[in-house]
Structure 1
Amino acid sequence: MLRNPSLAEIAEITGGELLSEGAHGQCLAVSTDTRTIQKGSLYIPLKGDRFDGHNFAENAREAGALAMLTERELAVDLPQIKVKDTLLALADIAAWHRDQFNGRVVAVTGSAGKTTVKQLMGSVLNQRYKTLITQGNLNNHIGAPLTLLSLQPEHEAAMIELGASAVGEIAYTARLTRPEVGILTNVVPAHLEGFGSIDNIALTKGELIDAVTPSGTMVLNADDHYFTQWLSRATALNVISFGFSDRADVTAKDICESLTGSEFTLVLPDESVSVSLSLSGLHNVRNALAVAAAASSLGFSSVEIKAGLEQSAAVAGRLERCKGQRGQVIFNDAYNANPESFCAAIDVLKLAEGRRILVMGDMGELGDAATTMHVRVGNYAKDQSIECLVATGPLSKSAVEAFGDNGHWFENREAVTEFLTKTTKSGDTLLVKGSRSAGMDQVVRSLADKEED
């Protein structure tokens, strides 16, 4: 931690009651999982529909916890601070910890591109600063506070990813993060089941704007349908826009796409520089523009921006290229999926020579629009002249039907893997994609060359 609070300070921060009279010591870290507790940690048990972290208090003691927060007094030989809600107390401590940090803080949200922008921006920030970057998918109401609590004295900057699946969630995490620069990538139909409508998604993602620090900067997508709405919401901030439209402050020209990446001229407000990006797809060029806009607002030079963008590698499961056991080229894009990201990935597959095969799993959390959205992907793949569609999952059956000839649907992933093993060969390019719940990464692991580095 940046500063190690005493138990009395933690009680004050959380509005809690220190139950253990005379208990002392300083908290060295915070953990919500007894398996990751270090000696001197504060254990914060959380509750869910099927678990209650309070039941593992003894494990926390055995692991060396200094103390624990609790919603009820427990019979465990460990100092306890009683609070009304341990989840809200976690947020209180994270907000306090953020207040101790004087470095640069950048936050990103949006329906798609968040993780790629996070990695690219982290790479640019690292050109000057020792930077904390959100790990994995720790971007929700639990993950974001834990990420903030990971800030250490050596950190000079933080790149925080904020995700949401319902209205109000960005407001909650952004309030804790208080970024100097906020990046809003886009709004597309994703998590519709939780949001109810795409308008609600736009409003929720826009909650980041309200949390940017005074005199801070908001980075907005000039190509997005909701750009004007967000612009009117950001009147108290500096705004810099990115995209391919004429109204964008940061844009790209002379774009040359390939399966191994994209080359383009990055056009900043005051200068231009050539960039060779190792990420494929026009959508990733746009992600790079978002990062360039944010970095420019922080005073980074074009040389630093270029170096950071070019040094960043593909995110695992995001158009990650690997070799198949039979010499196929496999693009692992199984980290997650929504209709827009599916179509963007198909645009990359379209660049391949030889036979192009889309391997599809269901897209989740689309609500009443689910069937329509899967039909859309099937039609788009057909329109882009993709030779073959192989799918599994009840919703993906409608995509196969829309695709028509050379569309194949199977009951499970194992049958998909068996079919692809028998029918694909060297020279074929496979794009494997689906929502995380579809588990299409298992298909990639089954097909990939185990001897490849």
Structure 2
Amino acid sequence: MTIAQLYQHYLLHPTICTDTRKITPGCLFFALKGENFNANTFALQALENGAAFAVIDDVEYQKDNRFILVNDTLIALQQLAKHHRTQLNIPIIGLTGSNGKTTTKELIYSVLSQKLNTHATKGNFNNHIGVPLTLLEIKPEAEVAIIEMGANHQKEIELLCDICQPNYGLITNVGKAHLEGFGGFEGVKKGKGELYNFLEKNHGTAFINKDNTHLLGMAETRKLDKIVYYGTHPSNDVSGELIKNDPFLEVKWRHQGENYTVHSKLTGIYNFENILAAVTIGLAFGLSADEINQGINTYEPQNNRSQIIKTANNTVIGDYYNANPSSMLVAIENLAKLAANEKVIILGDMFELGDEAAAEHENILQKALEQHFYKTIFIGQEFYKLNASADTFFFKTTLEAAAELKKKPIKNALVLLKGSRSMKLESLMELL
């Protein structure tokens, strides 16, 4: 079946499912394959559960005309999403970066939603499967969409741009994330820069933080037609400064000679630039200062990203959704600047660092110890290898750390809890 023919089925059945446990009546089921599963084997079950059609790529499972045979279900899904995008006469903002993608996306969504019917990536559905599914969720009434794009190797952003065809683009930053897949920091810059490549080729608009020398350098090597700059210097199209961080951020921003102040429910000095990016995009899409400030003020972080959680015993900065050397450093620096009598830092291992893992964990360890926090706790195999300080606690696993916290609970402290998702640091919350 051609993509054009498949699209006609999609128009009649615009809900896509890839999991038989989440089938909705009348949906299109795509039988995707992975390392440990072949969803072609579940196609019949999907139909029995209520799917209208099952898109498969193995003729062996084609029983009747409810089974749509394609060469490759993943490629068909991506091509269907790209075709749908061509039918949408709306601007799409492509967003990527090493850190802050999801928070920035949610801020932009909160801002633009004050005036426009806005669609955005849900959660972190930002890979080669999530981006197509996000595009296919865009309804005809949408006026703008924000597509988050994640990557852990080169050419991935290039693929996602080809699918979602962004008119606007924002790289939040480039840092030491997925070093193993990208082949080092220069590989990260090259991979994330694929968004700028697409904007250059298709005459799109780039929003660039002029305070970030890496992003400036990446932009200067390309011929971008349209750039909107934001940052701390007054010469930018939009400028701003951080007024308060105690622990929530208050930001003053300026545009065309006018000054405005916005209060947020975000913590972390690193979120200042994310707020400024949302302001900049709000202005570019014609929102008023009041609408922009309302969007920022009402946004509350979720999903364990820089959340301030008041427990019975402590105040916890829950930032354990993920971690890399760049985000670890700014989280430590932020904790050092916050006011509290006793500060505790609990850090878990960082993953996907390849040959640089040992050096990067050593760097984070030294940065944390320099702050002389009330208590420092490191968890994971990489950190445990560095066990060298009598004043610091090291544990191989999160379970071992939990056992220690049960015996010696932490009370009346400001606690930073941060590590890679696989460390499952959320299990420590009930002990804090």
Report the TM-score when normalising by structure 2.
0.92
Structure 2 counterpart of 1:239: 227
Between the aligned partners of 2:29 and 2:6, the Cα distance in structure 1 is 17
Find out whether 1:320 has 2:304 as its counterpart: no
Structure 1 residue matching 2:89: 3-state secondary structure: coil
In the alignment, which of 57, 60, 67 is matched to residue 80 of structure 1? Answer: 67
Structure 2 counterpart of 1:436: 421
Structure 2 residue matching 1:160: 3-state secondary structure: strand
> Closer, same or farther in 2 for the Cα pair 1:412/1:37, shift >3 Å?
same
Structure 2 counterpart of 1:60: 46
Letter of the 1:217 partner, please give it. Answer: T
The answer (yes or no) to whether the contact 2:100–2:274 under 8 Å persists in 1 is yes
In the alignment, which of 193, 217, 222 is matched to residue 229 of structure 1? Answer: 217
> Closer, same or farther in 2 for the Cα pair 1:400/1:240, shift >3 Å?
farther
Equivalences for residues 246-261 of structure 1 within 5 A: 248-253=236-241, 255-259=243-247, 261=248
Between the aligned partners of 1:229 and 1:165, the Cα distance in structure 2 is 21
Structure 1 residue matching 2:344: 3-state secondary structure: strand
Structure 1 counterpart of 2:324: 338
Between the aligned partners of 1:418 and 1:272, the Cα distance in structure 2 is 51
Structure 1 residue matching 2:206: 3-state secondary structure: strand
Equivalences for residues 93-132 of structure 1 within 5 A: 93-132=80-119
What is the Cα deviation at residue 31 of structure 1? 1.6
> Closer, same or farther in 2 for the Cα pair 1:246/1:420, shift >3 Å?
farther
What is the Cα deviation at residue 237 of structure 1? 2.9
The answer (yes or no) to whether the contact 2:241–2:251 under 8 Å persists in 1 is yes
Between the aligned partners of 1:312 and 1:94, the Cα distance in structure 2 is 29
Structure 2 counterpart of 1:20: none
The answer (yes or no) to whether the contact 1:356–1:428 under 8 Å persists in 2 is yes
> Closer, same or farther in 2 for the Cα pair 1:65/1:400, shift >3 Å?
same
The answer (yes or no) to whether the contact 2:267–2:307 under 8 Å persists in 1 is no
Structure 2 counterpart of 1:4: none
The answer (yes or no) to whether the contact 1:105–1:158 under 8 Å persists in 2 is yes
Letter of the 1:72 partner, please give it. Answer: D
Find out whether 1:44 has 2:34 as its counterpart: no
More displaced 10-residue stretch of structure 1: 385-394 or 248-257? 248-257
The answer (yes or no) to whether the contact 2:233–2:240 under 8 Å persists in 1 is no
Between the aligned partners of 1:112 and 1:411, the Cα distance in structure 2 is 26
Structure 1 residue matching 2:340: 3-state secondary structure: coil
> Closer, same or farther in 2 for the Cα pair 1:13/1:28, shift >3 Å?
closer
Find out whether 1:366 has 2:350 as its counterpart: no
Structure 1 counterpart of 2:269: 282
Structure 2 residue matching 1:240: 3-state secondary structure: strand
Structure 1 counterpart of 2:296: 309
In the alignment, which of 395, 409, 421 is matched to residue 394 of structure 2? Answer: 409
Report the TM-score when normalising by structure 1.
0.88
Between the aligned partners of 1:354 and 1:132, the Cα distance in structure 2 is 43
Find out whether 1:140 has 2:127 as its counterpart: yes
Between the aligned partners of 2:396 and 2:185, the Cα distance in structure 1 is 31
Find out whether 1:26 has 2:15 as its counterpart: no
Between the aligned partners of 1:202 and 1:271, the Cα distance in structure 2 is 35
The answer (yes or no) to whether the contact 1:317–1:334 under 8 Å persists in 2 is yes
The answer (yes or no) to whether the contact 1:57–1:76 under 8 Å persists in 2 is no
What is the Cα deviation at residue 355 of structure 1? 1.6
The answer (yes or no) to whether the contact 2:131–2:148 under 8 Å persists in 1 is yes
Task: State the identity as a percent.
Answer: 33
The answer (yes or no) to whether the contact 2:240–2:276 under 8 Å persists in 1 is yes
Cα deviations across residues 239-264 of structure 1 (Å, max 9, x unaligned)? 112233576443322522112x1112
Between the aligned partners of 1:272 and 1:122, the Cα distance in structure 2 is 23
> Closer, same or farther in 2 for the Cα pair 1:425/1:30, shift >3 Å?
closer
Between the aligned partners of 1:125 and 1:25, the Cα distance in structure 2 is 27
Find out whether 1:447 has 2:431 as its counterpart: yes
What is the Cα deviation at residue 295 of structure 1? 2.0
Cα deviations across residues 259-281 of structure 1 (Å, max 9, x unaligned)? 2x111211235432111121112
Structure 2 residue matching 1:374: 3-state secondary structure: helix
Aligned residue pair count: 429
> Closer, same or farther in 2 for the Cα pair 1:8/1:197, shift >3 Å?
closer
More displaced 10-residue stretch of structure 1: 66-75 or 238-247? 238-247
Structure 2 counterpart of 1:19: none
Structure 1 counterpart of 2:384: 397
The answer (yes or no) to whether the contact 1:217–1:297 under 8 Å persists in 2 is no
**RMSD, aligned α-carbons:** 2.4
Between the aligned partners of 2:151 and 2:387, the Cα distance in structure 1 is 30
> Closer, same or farther in 2 for the Cα pair 1:187/1:8, shift >3 Å?
closer
What is the Cα deviation at residue 214 of structure 1? 4.6
Between the aligned partners of 1:100 and 1:65, the Cα distance in structure 2 is 24
The answer (yes or no) to whether the contact 1:390–1:408 under 8 Å persists in 2 is yes
Cα deviations across residues 130-167 of structure 1 (Å, max 9, x unaligned)? 22221122100000110111112343222211100010
Letter of the 2:80 partner, please give it. Answer: I
Between the aligned partners of 1:289 and 1:399, the Cα distance in structure 2 is 38
Structure 1 counterpart of 2:343: 356
